[in-house]
Amino acid sequence: MESQVRQNYHRDCEAAVNRMVNMELFASYTYTSMAFYFSRDDVALPGFAHFFKENSDEEREHAEKLLSFQNKRGGRIFLQDVKKPERDEWGSGLEAMQCALQLEKNVNQALLDLHKLASDHVDPHLCDFLESHYLNDNLSRMDAANNKMAEYLFDKHSLGGKNLRLTALIQSVDCCVDGSWKIFLLKGCMR
């Protein structure tokens, strides 16, 4: 039965929103794996555990917002199996942060693809929803200048008297909404 509130909501957009829900849940699942890895007794890095638990909660909230949006637009929710994280052991904090950055880039690219699809189907409601709730948020999450964990790592290794030197690896990524921006990934190098 067709929803009575559905208007100008293309089936391709509806299907893509369902796929985006799955990706957000996968990200949440991955961050949960990271959080509980770092809270293990043999790893015991509670700061990382807390950081990744917060990220997991945020990604789950993103999925829930998309589900609510789907209902408001008169779309139908078709949940899919959530894929298992690609690994169970996350190594060092640095390795996990690199994996988290890649995950954020993948989620951001999927959001940009969804935004383009919405634009192609002339869906200003979906475009506005994505810009307001997702794209700007993901932009700031990937920007190390605004990232508390990157700041902590930089301070710890550059001011803590350790024999570690941090170098910034700058990667440019195009953003179709706001022009261009940078991603900074802190990489530890032994000296």
Q: 59 among the known binding-site residues? A: yes
In whole angstroms, how far apart are CA 174 and each of 110, 134, 136, 165? 13, 16, 13, 29
Q: Which residues pair with 181 in a beta bridge?
A: 173
Helix (H) or strand (E) run with residue 168 in it: strand 164-175
Cα 92 to Cα 45: distance, rounded to the nearest angstrom: 10
The three-class DSSP label of residue 45 is coil
Q: 24 among the known binding-site residues? A: yes
The three-class DSSP label of residue 88 is coil
Residue indicated by tokens 């803590």: 160
Give the residue ranges of the annotated binding site for Fe cation: 24, 59, 62, 104
Give the residue ranges of the annotated binding site: 24, 59, 62, 104
